[in-house]
Structure 1
Amino acid sequence: MPATETAPAEDLALLVAAAREAAQIATGFAAPEIWDKADGQGPVTEADLAVDRMLRDRLGAARPGYGWLSEETSDSPDRLSARRIFIIDPIDGTRAFIEGSRDWAHSLAVAEAGRVIAAAVLLPQRGLLYTAHAGGGAQLNGRAIRASAEADPARATLLGPRLAMSPEHWSGGEVPPVQRAFRSSLAWRLCLLAEGRFDAMLTIRPTWEWDVAAGTLILSEAGGRATDRRGAALAFNRPHPQSDGVLAGGALHPVLLARLADPPPG
């Protein structure tokens, strides 16, 4: 690392402070105004936008050379020339936030050359702060966490939507005998794998980078692995910031990967 470059641990400290400020803003909205995004991209609230503005201002001022990719900011090709980039989901699990559930998160990450090097996921209503920086392990509220060692689908739990358990997505139509559960926030799903509370996660549909960037590092630093649904490594700050689904887990990851059917062409 060049002498003038910020260490990942310093970037992590910045992300944590910003996430805590984001929580103060988001939890201050009792009944936020809600809009539907274009092209069926789901709802957005004035809280999402307020958090996004604050994060863009604060993080941009602290690291003016970093690029910016956020769910709630219009994308710009300028980010592609940045060595480091913030990848942000101001409120991951907006539907849960609207419903008054506690299952939403602030998901903040820094990526360098396609790889996440610092990450923070904060669930304010649950008092959960997941953190990691490259080579530093993963923590939950300052305590080291580790991904599951369970490799038997019959004893395993998988986080994902009902679609993930449809027979057409599995080789020979044979759905593994996992117990399925669901959480609204993709970032939290990855963090739940990192702390070993669940064994795997699967999403079939194309997945935005801001949904999984932070959680991917937290899981990998906890000894787990996240890939796309074909088993390819996830890369970040791509021109089109989506992956072909996500399969993640601890020891169960290669077991499920071997059983997934190839997606249809086109």
Structure 2
Amino acid sequence: MPANDLFLLIEAAREAGTIALRHWRNRPKVWEKPEGAGPVTEADLAVNAMLERELAAARPGYGWLSEETEDDPARLSAERTFIVDPIDGTRAFLEGDKTFAHALAVAEAGRVTAAVVHLPALNLTFAAAEDGPATLNGEPIAASGTSRTGGATVLTARWALSPEHWQGRPPAVRREFRASMAYRLCLVAQGRFDAALSLRPTWEWDIAAGDLIARRAGAAVTDRHGGAIAYNRPEPRAEGILAAPPGLHADLIGRLTPALRVPDARA
């Protein structure tokens, strides 16, 4: 990884936050994406345009994968690729909630090498490089030491704890939720929650940045089957995601049933 990729992502994420906050709680224009893919706002598009312009200018040889840009297969032949969610948690953004995020990552040979998740309304910047610590506003963070499900705190959708997804009874965990998948992974990295779980097919732009940040904070991060997640694939989706301290991760994976067909939705 070029030594300054992380710095580049941090600066770009902060500029994204400046743009987003101009629209936040200011009745931005909004459209529904085709096939029930959710809303997109003028803020999403403005942030995406800035990021694509500025990051491409800084790294002209890198590929580009973004939720708000039509996919270009040329990214598959690039040595490194930006993976970007201009605004993760668009529904929260529209509701005036503070927990929307900008998620930016660089992937090389299937792995994430630099990552930033920035929440401008909360003044939080999570960051990590593959050879350094996970940080929050420049200070190191670490995942919790929880190793068993009893009493663990898990960020997941309510339906994910339905009995059909688990062998025996669902785990006795305390459940909460945040709209941004990237923020959920960072909350695990910070140790504020013990695990984040999604059983749905999960887009790479939702998880790439948070994946590296959680792993560099000491969490285990895999798909819902316990397999490693590779990035910048032709079909840029993972089979769900689970991030948790290693002992808890193993406990949860061992309790999950083989994958059922679940609704195909974002995060």
Which residue is 2:265 aligned to? none
CA RMSD of aligned residues (A): 1.1
Residue number in structure 1 paired with 2:110: 114
Structure 2 length as normaliser, TM-score? Answer: 0.95
The residue identity in structure 2 corresponding to 1:70 is S
- SS of 1:171's equivalent in the other structure is coil
Is contact 1:171–1:259 with CA below 8 Å preserved after alignment? yes
Partner of 2:232: 237
- What whole-Å deviation, never above 9, does each CA across 1:132-158 have from its counterpart, x for those lacking one? 001111000111001111012112100
Residues 163 and 204, structure 1, Cα contact 8 Å, conserved in 2: no
Instruction: Tell me how far apart the structure 1 counterparts of residues 150 and 261 of structure 2 sit (CA, whole Å).
Output: 30
Q: Which position in structure 1 is the counterpart of 2:4?
A: 10
Residue in structure 2 matched with residue 149 of structure 1 by the alignment: 145
Q: Which amino acid aligns with 1:19?
A: A
How far, CA to CA, are the matches of 2:171 and 2:16 in structure 1?
39
Contact 1:134 1:217 in 2 (8 A): yes
Instruction: Give the equivalent residue in structure 2 for 1:99.
Output: 95
Letter paired with 1:57: R
Spell out, residue by residue over 1:194-246, the C-alpha distance to the aligned partner (whole angstroms, 9 max, x if none).
01010011111100000000000000100111111001101100000001111
Q: For residue 18 of structure 1, what is the amino acid of its counterpart?
A: A
Distance 2:186 2:147 in 1: 18
Counterpart position of 1:193: 188
Deviation at 1:265, TM superposition (A): 7.2
Question: What stretches of structure 2 of length at least 5 have no aligned partner?
Answer: 263-267
1:180 matched to 2:175: yes
Contact 2:165 / 2:260 at 8 angstroms: preserved in 1? no
Q: Secondary structure at the match of 2:208?
A: helix
Distance 1:231 1:155 in 2: 22
Letter of the structure 1 residue corresponding to residue 103 of structure 2 = S
Alignment correspondent of 1:51: 47
SS at match of 1:111: strand
**Distance in 2 between the 1:79 and 1:163 partners?**
35
Partner of 2:220: 225
Which residue does 2:251 correspond to in 1? 255
Q: Which amino acid is 1:123 matched to?
A: L
Deviation per CA, 1:56-83: give whole Å up to 9, x if none: 0000000000000000000011100011
CA contact (8 A) 2:223 2:240 kept: yes
User: Corresponding residue for 2:159?
Assistant: 163
1:210 aligns with 2:229: no
SS in 1 for 2:4: helix
Q: Read off the aligned partner of 1:127 and give its amino acid letter.
A: N
Q: Distance in 1 between matches of 2:174 and 2:104?
A: 29
Identity rate, percent = 58
2:215–2:221 contact (8 Å) kept in structure 1: yes
Using the alignment, how far apart are the partners of 2:220 and 2:230 within structure 1?
13
> Where does structure 1 differ by over 6 angstroms across 4 or more consecutive aligned residues?
none
Match of residue 73 from structure 1: 69
- CA distance, structure 2, for counterparts of residue 17 and residue 163 of structure 1: 37
- Cα distance in 2 for partners of 1:103, 1:40 equals 22
Structure 1: gaps spanning 5 or more residues: 1-5
In the alignment, the residues of structure 1 paired with residue 150 and residue 260 of structure 2 have an alpha-carbon distance, to the nearest angstrom, of 27
